[in-house]
């Protein structure tokens, strides 16, 4: 049977409305006045697909902030068909705080040049979205991961920077015209990757930061520290903070230790876990994850598996320590952590997969749901997340 909490979660997303019509109404944005700037918040991130997550899971971990990204190539037609946008607007309609990042996937084609027909098509898409979200969401981030979503030659030539600078100026002008510079929707530029590596601190990244600092309409910068060790997070702060204006902040809409997890996929599982759950002692970590994908574990078994691995247990306080480091700067606007496992991360999971599945708060692909219908979870992260709410 479907639980009452699950039904309420679906209703909050608008998924019960319009049944039988084949359409899903999207809440219309309305003026909400100005909102105070975000200050050290911790929220949930669904990236481009919330999957089976509902607002009920937000309540289960006391989350008040939700972040998603929207592929702008999908903004030509019905925005109501975009699940990430639909969830963001449903959350905003219920008074939750929201962040939306604009994704421009140009990894396999040239970035448009301002003034070209291709650029004007992007502006038309953008205008349609801005009419829907300005004044409704709290933060709009121009860019998702441009340093991963563009071709190397476009980054090296400055073409990528020129494209995003022109988009940012357009968004600022539109926001100011609709809401005024102090309006509800705040604007950030994002996001920088790999600042813990020498190649990440490039001329393009320097120009990115200079534009952010010199543009009054931007409240700050977004970063994505996916790390190989907890200590590597300091490289992101050391890079961006000196390059921002004193009145600007930084956001962290994605962060994890996924590169550390990946190094241990070939490790043998802990003997005590193997013996307790009838797993061969020679089994590898990736094989156990794959078996959970094939047949989701009960909650206790997933928790026992993760915590039996020394590389995971040693970093069980990662979420707390990382958020405390962000907040300790006094400059954090919002950090958002992986909310739910994505289907792409589970597909053909093997020894060389990127183990995003180990990052998420909620784990519908590897853990059986609760008796009340809420998604299974990674309790190491959900317990820490709840405790970190301000």
Q: Show me where the domains of the chain are located.
A: 26-258+317-346+373-387
Other CB atoms within a 10 A radius of the CB of residue 372 amount to 11
DSSP letter assigned to residue 152? H
Residues 6+ apart with CB under 8 A from 344: none
Q: Which residue stretches of the chain have pLDDT < 70?
A: 1-37, 74-80
Q: 268 with 281: CB under 8 angstroms?
A: yes
Tokens standing for residue 336:
């958002």
Q: What is the pLDDT of residue 33?
A: 40
Phi, psi of 251 (to 5 degrees): -115, 155
Q: What is the pLDDT of residue 195?
A: 97
CA distance 365 to 370: 13
Q: What is the pLDDT of residue 17?
A: 30
CATH number for the segment(s) 26-258+317-346+373-387? 3.20.20.80
Q: What is the pLDDT of residue 11?
A: 39
């Amino acid at each position: 049977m479907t639980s009452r909490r699950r039904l309420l979660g679906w209703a909050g997303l608008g998924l019960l409305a319009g049944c039988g019509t084949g359409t899903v109404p999207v809440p219309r944005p309305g003026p909400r006045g100005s909102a105070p700037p975000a200050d050290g918040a911790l929220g949930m991130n669904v990236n481009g697909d919330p999957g089976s997550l509902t607002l009920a899971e937000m309540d289960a971990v006391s989350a008040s902030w939700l972040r998603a990204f929207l592929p702008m190539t999908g903004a030509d037609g019905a925005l109501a068909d975009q699940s990430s946008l639909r969830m963001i607007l449903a959350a905003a309609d219920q008074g939750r705080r929201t962040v939306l990042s604009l994704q421009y996937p140009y990894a396999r084609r040239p970035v448009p040049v301002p003034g070209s027909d291709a650029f004007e098509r992007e502006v038309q898409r953008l205008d349609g979205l801005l009419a829907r979200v300005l004044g409704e969401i709290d933060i709009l981030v121009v860019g998702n991961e441009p340093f991963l979503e563009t071709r190397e030659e476009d980054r090296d030539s400055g073409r990528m920077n020129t494209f995003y600078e022109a988009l940012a100026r357009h968004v600022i002008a539109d926001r100011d015209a609709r809401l005024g510079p102090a309006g509800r929707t705040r604007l950030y530029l994002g996001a920088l990757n790999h600042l813990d590596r020498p190649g990440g601190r490039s001329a393009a990244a320097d120009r990115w930061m200079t534009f952010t600092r010199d543009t009054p309409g931007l409240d700050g910068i977004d970063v994505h520290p996916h790390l190989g060790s907890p200590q590597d997070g300091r490289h992101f702060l050391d890079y961006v903070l000196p390059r921002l204006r004193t009145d600007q902040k930084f956001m962290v809409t994605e962060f994890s230790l996924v590169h550390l997890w990946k190094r241990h996929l070939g490790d043998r599982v802990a003997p005590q876990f193997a013996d307790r759950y009838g797993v061969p002692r020679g089994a590898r970590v990736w094989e156990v994850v794959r078996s959970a994908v094939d047949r989701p574990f009960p909650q206790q078994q997933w928790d026992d598996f993760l915590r039996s691995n020394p590389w995971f247990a040693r970093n069980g306080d990662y979420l707390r320590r990382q958020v405390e480091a962000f907040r300790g700067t006094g400059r954090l606007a919002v950090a958002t952590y992986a909310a739910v496992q994505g289907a792409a991360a589970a597909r053909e999971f093997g020894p060389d997969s990127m183990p995003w599945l180990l990052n998420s708060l909620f784990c519908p692909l590897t853990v059986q749901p609760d008796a009340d219908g809420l998604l299974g979870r990674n309790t190491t992260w959900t317990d820490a997340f709840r405790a970190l709410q301000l």
